[in-house]
Amino acid sequence: MVFVRDRLLDEIRKVIMENIPPEAEMRRVEFEGPYLVIYVRNPGFLKSETSAIKNIAKILRKRIIVKVDPQARKKPQEARSKILELVPSEAGVSEKDIEFDEVLGEVVIKAAKPGLVIGAEGENLKRILVETGWRPRVVRKPPIKSGLLEGIINYMMNESDYRLKFLRRASEKIHVDPLFKSDTVRITALGGFMEVGRSAILLETPNSKILLDFGLNPGINTPPNMYPRIDMLNIAPEEIDAVVVTHAHVDHCGLVPFLFKYGYDGPVYTTEATRDLMALMQLDILDVARREGNPIPFTQREVQKMVLHTIPLKYGDTTDIAPDVKITLYNAGHILGSAMVHIYAGNPAGGGINILYSGDIKFQRTRLLERASVEEIPRVDILILESTYGATDLPPRNEAEEKLIEIIKKTIERKGKVLIPTLSVGRAQEIMLVLRSAMMEKKLDEIPVYIEGMIDEVTAIHTAYPELLSRETFALFKSGENPFSYTTFKRVEDRRARSDIVDAPESSVIMATSGMLTGGPAVEYFKLLAGDPRNTMVFVNYQVKGTLGRRIKDGEKEIQLQEEDGRIVTVKVNMEIQSVEGFSGHSDRKQLVRFVESLPTIPKKIILNHGEPSAIASLAKELGKSKDIRVRTADIIMPNVLDTLTFKP
């Protein structure tokens, strides 16, 4: 293997030497993860020579980064002054917002308005690199402070030695000539097939093994049905080459740290926002597990390791993740940072297989996010499609919003309180935007909206990536308004405040996690509010089979619950139970069919997953009704967990 890699590097060096202007004074070429890093002494060549790097990237089909040789970088103090000079003062960058990472040759610049640091088409970034020799990495200072985000940035800075070593090691498995020339691809369903929960897929080529998602089943507390069935394969975690995570819901990412605990040492590819959100979700799983005494097979250490091993990708950037596998992420419209994964497997020169794994998708725009972007997706031969609402026609969003507002108004009239158990990621922020607008437009009284649980930290992370939000929400941020800080929104920081909120004479809305009542403050509020028929509980998200939320939604009126001291109490459900479906972050069956029809090429095979069997069967039928799909798609496949499918181009 080493031999092959050295030869590859020699060839690469030759191409670079032929194309890079001599005044760049190239020193060396290194692979750092999926990137090819060219170290130069004089980055000034970038000023005049704009096409050289693009040409090299095109010939080599590699992602290229230019860094400056350590001796040629300006001293940090000098570089700091230069950066402050180059960055407009409105960007909100002060001296302490500029930090240098000697190992990676990067300067991290924290800015209130990152766009101004970046400049039109990255012009300012280039100037910073050229004039200081440090490669700038710009992060947003979110208007809502996030302890987690700061923690991640500091941790990565402190561990940059480890990170560089890891990136070099990871690159050794990516940038080699494929050993076997074959284009066969095997897809094994590990979890989330004919069910919702524990999503995981193993994708194998003759040269590589890739995991797509690795989640847990939130409705089940006992193995083996809680975990993806990797235990049944003859594969040790260290044999996996890469993990790709579509989004930060625990049923897709909850057990990624478990892989690290049992020997996985490779990269995790996902968006930057998903990295932050998933770390938060995993830490929360640990927290809840500790409080409830459920064993969880990983610790905080593995969550930290996962963060260091994450290689964040932007939507639309094609990246080599194995000798014969390239991936590109596309916005999935489901939650902040969510992605569909396009996978090209096979001969790098062409003729391989194109797979699209949808993850969870929303093919309709919401207040929070733009819809899944199909426009730029290249050819798709095999589509792995979620089917959560494959049997459901969701009401239009405006109807859903009106229904929610109507429910709240009725509850206010009878002096009750409204409990909305919410998923902390996505749905909570969407409902906040709905309530804010209804109150601003006077459709709803300005009553307090109490927010408890992880929602606050998650919202803060949303404010760090406003460019990923819907155009209208991003526009609010650009105009200096933070819609998540509306005047009636009140965060509950101390659990002792709960009884005051419940006993207060005035009506209020309480938003609390978890969204399926599997734990968290939502369950505590439920206990306090359930007995009073004036109150209402409104579900605004999918309730997975087996969760308390699902049982109540299905009509159970007496619930046995455990108190913190271990006592079992019976809770009588006298409160009104409502469910508003239209807010889903998933596509309904019409949207799913339209999504397939809107792909640039209709896939030859469609594999349905992430749905209960009835939803999957119904979606298969619905897809068959579409003429486009009927003509072009040879198979609609509905695998079970542990089924393996083999494909050739």
Q: Which residues contact Zn ion (rule: CB under 5 A)?
A: 249, 360
Task: Please answer whether residues 137 and 110 qualify as being in contact, where contact means their C-beta atoms are separated by less than 8 angstroms.
Answer: no
CA gap 406, 197 in Å, rounded: 32
Least Å distance, CB 105 to Zn ion, is 37
Q: Toward Zn ion, which CB reaches closer, 175 or 586?
A: 586
CA dihedral 464, 469, 473, 476 (to 10 degrees): 40
Least Å distance, CB 612 to Zn ion, is 15
* Of 466, 490, 491, 468, residue with least CA distance to 480: 466
Q: Toward Zn ion, which CB reaches closer, 427 or 589?
A: 427
Q: Toward Zn ion, which CB reaches closer, 215 or 416?
A: 215
- Count Cβ neighbours within 10 Å for each residue of 229-255 and write b for 16 or more, e otherwise: bbeebeeebeebbbbbbbbbbbbbbbb
Least Å distance, CB 334 to Zn ion, is 6
Query: What does 281-295 look like in DSSP terms, one character per residue?
Result: HHHHHHHHHHHHT--
| Phi, psi values for residue 137, rounded to 5° | -125, 115
CA gap 568, 333 in Å, rounded: 41
Q: Toward Zn ion, which CB reaches closer, 248 or 311?
A: 248
Least Å distance, CB 586 to Zn ion, is 8
β partners of residue 185: 647
Least Å distance, CB 246 to Zn ion, is 8
Least Å distance, CB 192 to Zn ion, is 10
Least Å distance, CB 423 to Zn ion, is 8
Q: Toward Zn ion, which CB reaches closer, 192 or 257?
A: 192
Q: Toward Zn ion, which CB reaches closer, 249 or 275?
A: 249
Q: Toward Zn ion, which CB reaches closer, 175 or 252?
A: 252
Q: Toward Zn ion, which CB reaches closer, 249 or 371?
A: 249
Q: Toward Zn ion, which CB reaches closer, 360 or 370?
A: 360
Query: What does 43-57 look like in DSSP terms, one character per residue?
Result: TTHHHH--SHHHHHH
CA gap 531, 544 in Å, rounded: 24
Q: Which tokens go with 351? A: 């003729």
Least Å distance, CB 74 to Zn ion, is 45
Least Å distance, CB 247 to Zn ion, is 6
SS (H, E, C) 520-578: CHHHHHHHHHCCCCCCEEEECCCCCCCCHHHHHHCCCCEEEEECCCCCEEEEECCCEEE
Least Å distance, CB 642 to Zn ion, is 22
| Phi, psi values for residue 18, rounded to 5° | -70, -25
CA gap 311, 104 in Å, rounded: 14
Q: Toward Zn ion, which CB reaches closer, 86 or 336?
A: 336
Q: Which residues fall within 8 angstroms of residue 444, CB to CB, at 6 or more apart?
A: 405, 408, 409, 435, 438
Least Å distance, CB 6 to Zn ion, is 43
Q: Which residues fall within 8 angstroms of residue 177, CB to CB, at 6 or more apart?
A: 4, 7, 8, 323
CA gap 442, 440 in Å, rounded: 5
**DSSP 8-class letter at 465:** -
Q: Which residues fall within 8 angstroms of residue 441, CB to CB, at 6 or more apart?
A: none
Q: First-to-last CA distance in the chain?
A: 27
Q: Which tokens go with 475? A: 């526009």
Residue count (the chain): 649
Least Å distance, CB 66 to Zn ion, is 37
Q: Toward Zn ion, which CB reaches closer, 97 or 213?
A: 213
Least Å distance, CB 421 to Zn ion, is 16
SS3 459: helix
- The contacts found for 548-553 with CB under 8 angstroms, 24 or more apart, are 548/516, 548/517, 548/518, 548/523, 549/421, 549/515, 549/516, 549/517, 549/518, 550/219, 550/516, 552/517, 552/577, 553/577, 553/579
| Phi, psi values for residue 605, rounded to 5° | -125, 140
Least Å distance, CB 132 to Zn ion, is 41
CB atoms within 10 A of CB 64: 18
Q: Toward Zn ion, which CB reaches closer, 302 or 386?
A: 386
Q: Toward Zn ion, which CB reaches closer, 107 or 339?
A: 339
Least Å distance, CB 623 to Zn ion, is 21
Query: CA angle 224-228-232, nearest 5°?
Result: 70
Query: CA angle 11-38-86, nearest 5°?
Result: 160
